[in-house]
Amino acid sequence: MDKQRKIFIAGHRGMVGEAIKRTLQQKGYSNLLLKKSSELDLRDQRTVYTFFEKEEPQVVIDAAARVGGILANNDYPYPFLMENMQIQNNLIEASLRQDVDKFIFLGSSCIYPKLAPQPLKEEYLLTDSLEPTNEWYALAKITGVKACQAIRKQFGNDYVSLMPTNLYGANDNFDLQTSHVLPAMIRKFHEAKENGHVPVTLWGSGTPMREFLYVDDLAEAVVFTLENTLPEYLYNVGTGEDLTIKQLAETIQAVVGHQGEIVWDRSKPDGTPRKLMDISKMHALGWKHQIKLKDGIEHTYKWFLENQGNYKEVKL
Q: Known binder of ligand: residue 197?
A: no
Q: Known binder of ligand: residue 309?
A: no
Q: Known binder of ligand: residue 307?
A: no
Q: Known binder of ligand: residue 164?
A: yes
CA angle 40, 7, 83 (to 5 degrees): 35
Q: Known binder of ligand: residue 267?
A: no
Q: Known binder of ligand: residue 144?
A: no
Give the separation between CA 37 and CA 95, rounded to whole angstroms: 18
Q: Known binder of ligand: residue 46?
A: no
Q: Known binder of ligand: residue 141?
A: yes
Return left, alpha or beta for 173; rule: phi > 0 is left, psi -120 to 50 is alpha, else beta.
beta
Give the separation between CA 287 and CA 309, rounded to whole angstroms: 35
Give the separation between CA 48 and CA 37, rounded to whole angstroms: 11
CA angle 152, 155, 157 (to 5 degrees): 50
Q: Known binder of ligand: residue 12?
A: yes
The answer to whether residue 137 is catalytic is yes
Q: Known binder of ligand: residue 106?
A: yes
| Farthest-apart Cα atoms in the chain, separation | 61
Q: Known binder of ligand: residue 68?
A: no
First-to-last alpha carbon distance for the chain, in angstroms, is 37
Give the pairing type, strands 200-203 and 262-265.
Answer: parallel
Q: Known binder of ligand: residue 35?
A: no
- Asked if residues 164 and 108 have their Cβ atoms less than 8 Å apart, the reply is yes
Q: How many CB atoms lie within 10 A of CB 18?
A: 19
Q: Known binder of ligand: residue 305?
A: no
Give the separation between CA 192 and CA 262, rounded to whole angstroms: 10
Q: Known binder of ligand: residue 32?
A: no
Q: Known binder of ligand: residue 161?
A: no
Of all helices (H) and strands (E), which one includes residue 284?
helix 280-285
Selecting among 49, 76, 124, 137, the annotated active-site residue is 137
Give the pairing type, strands 243-244 and 209-210.
Answer: antiparallel
Binding-site residues from annotation for NADP(+): 11-17, 106-109, 141, 164-167, 180
Binding-site residues from annotation for substrate: 188, 203, 210, 270
Binding-site residues from annotation: 11-17, 106-109, 141, 164-167, 180, 188, 203, 210, 270
Residues that are catalytic:
137
